[in-house]
Amino acid sequence: MNIDGQPYRTIFPDPDGVSVQVIDQTRLPFAFELRRLATLEDAAVAIRTMIVRGAPLIGVTAAYGLALAMRADASHDGIDRAVATLAATRPTAINLRWALDRVSANLRQTAPDERFARAFAEAGRIAEEDVASCRAIGAHGGQIIADLHAARGGDRPITVLTHCNAGWLATVDWGTALAPVYAAHERGVPVHVLVDETRPRSQGAALTAFELNGHGVPHTVIADNAGGHLMQHGDVDLCIVGSDRTTASGDVCNKIGTYLKALAAHDNGVPFYAALPFSTIDWTLDDGVKEIPIEERDGREVTHMTGRLPDGGFATIEVVSPGSPVANPAFDVTPSRLVTGIITERGICDASREGLYGLYPERRSAA
Ligand SMILES: CSC[C@@H](O)[C@@H](O)C(=O)COP(=O)(O)O
């Protein structure tokens, strides 16, 4: 997608052929900087410190990380060590594990001296598939927005509330939750996005707003606690969020605070969709609340905030009463009963095992 009119992807091979470039998302929205990842450690640090983030992008970065590891140690032990290092970076997004399983299975059938090239190419294929999946999610979800626009008389924009950043910055391109917005916008369907700021890391205020600005999509950033009130007053037509892990039964795990938005949407009859590619579905899980591991992050993300000063410099300030204990669970689970539908690259389904099997019949036989 575009930054200052120039198309970018979040991750792409460096011209040197042995490393990748990523957009440093810890610097956005105030600075646009690329980082070169040349080693396993570079990739692991990028994921752990959230230079890259968002479930699909974490998966693609891990795939490249495993490839980069093969340059230093292409033995079986080297594969095991790299997989263990990358898998330990962030626990919730299943795309990470999915990508590592796919690349490592491929590597084990490849001669050591060909492993780097094989893994690098496979990571590239995963990236391309992610772009195609997100584009298809956009086409399916964009139709929901267009239909709603027509059903509401076509005389006012459709207002979509989203949480966190599930746009192109969270994937390789297009995004999941924002892909339908971009698709509708490109089709000329008027759409307005309500962007939850998404404390504590502010992915909505910093990243989603940055993306939408870059593409000229009308939007308004709101405090995390404003959504319920706006829904009560008829100011939200639908919610679309992403997912870091979706159970086979349709429970959706996403950034902390998503569940509260789903509750408010349910209470106010606002449709609540989750948009996600197949790589986000964990077919081994049934009960998301009990089974999905929730990342607990550093309390400093709650106690401190970083921002730009009037003179253009940056500062990190303390915002919590010193000495108060803090907790920082990074994700929550929205049970399937609160999800109107799941938008995938194959179409839209009920948030249920039957719904997902309808789109992925090969999984029914695998189960
Ligand atoms: C398309 S991305 C879906 C999710 O990964 C996204 O909504 C999200 O919660 C990202 O969390 P983050 O902690 O920024 O990696």
Rg of the chain, C-alpha, whole Å: 20
Annotated catalytic residues are 244
CB under 6 Å to ligand 1: residues? 53-56, 93, 164, 166, 170-171, 175-176, 203, 242-244, 254-255, 330
Query: Whole-angstrom Cα distance, residue 74 to residue 114?
Result: 9
pLDDT tens digits for 19-60? 999 999 999 999 999 999 999 999 999 999 999 999 999 999
Supply the DSSP symbol for 313.
-
Domain count, the chain: 2
Q: Which percentage of the chain shows pLDDT scores above 90?
A: 97
* ipTM score for this prediction: 0.98
Q: Is 268 annotated as a binding residue?
A: no
* pLDDT value, residue 344: 98
pLDDT band, very low/low/confident/very high, at 2 (cuts 50, 70, 90): confident
- In the block, tokens 């772009």 appear at 131
Is 146 part of a structural domain of the chain?
Answer: no
Distance 292 CA to ligand 1 centre (A): 15
Same domain, 101 and 172: no
Residue 167 shares a structural domain with residue 103: no
Indicate whether 290 pLDDT > 90: yes
User: Given this model, what pLDDT does residue 81 score?
Assistant: 98
What is the reported pLDDT for 73?
A: 97
CA distance 332 to 163: 12
User: Do both 203 and 335 map to the same domain?
Assistant: yes
Confidence of residue 78 (pLDDT cuts 50, 70, 90): very high
- Whether 216 and 266 map to the same domain: the answer is yes
Give the range of the structural domain holding residue 37, as residue numbers without chain letter: 1-126
Residues 163 and 300 in one domain: yes
Q: Are 167 and 258 within one domain? A: yes
Mean pLDDT of the chain: 97
- Residue 84 and residue 202 in one domain: no
pLDDT tens for 327-365 read: 999 999 999 999 999 999 999 999 999 999 999 999 998
* Cβ(91)–Cβ(293) below 8 Å: yes
CATH number of the domain enclosing 13: 1.20.120.420
E strand or H helix at 222 = strand 219-222
pLDDT at 365: 82
Contact between 71 and 113 under an 8 Å Cβ cutoff? The reply is: no
Sign of the torsion angle spanned by Cα atoms 357, 359, 361, 362: negative
pLDDT at 6: 85
Residue at a domain's end among 126, 141, 167: 126
The answer to the question of whether 54 is labelled as a binding residue is yes
Q: Which of 244, 252, 253 to mutate to test the pocket of ligand 1 (most atoms within 8 A of CB)?
A: 244
Q: Both 294 and 330 in a single domain?
A: yes
Domain match, 180 and 322 both: yes
Distance, in Å, from the CA atom of 302 to the CA atom of 299, rounded to the nearest integer, reads: 5
- Higher confidence at residue 340 or residue 366? 340
Query: Within this chain, do residues 239 and 346 fall inside the same structural domain, yes or no?
Result: yes
List Cβ neighbours of 268 (8 Å cut-off, separation of 6 or more).
Answer: 228, 231, 232, 236
Given a cut of 90, whether residue 367 has pLDDT beyond it is no
In a domain, 67, yes or no: yes
| pLDDT (mean) for 210-239 | 97
Average confidence (pLDDT) over 156-176: 98
The answer to the question of residue 132 being in a domain is no
The rounded Cα 336 to chain-centroid distance in angstroms is 19
* pLDDT number for residue 366: 82
Residues 3 and 52 in one domain: yes
What is the 150 CA–ligand 1 centroid distance (Å)?
31
Environment class of residue 3 by beta-carbon count within 10 Å: exposed (0-12), middle (13-18) or buried (19+)? Answer: middle
Across 66-87, average pLDDT: 98
Tokens of 126: 């995963």
Task: Please report whether residue 141 resides in a domain.
Answer: no
Q: 217: buried, middle or exposed (CB in 10 Å: 19+, 13-18, 0-12)? A: buried
Ligand 1 mean position, distance from CA 185 (Å): 22
| Nearest one of 280, 283, 259, 274 to 349, comparing CA atoms | 274
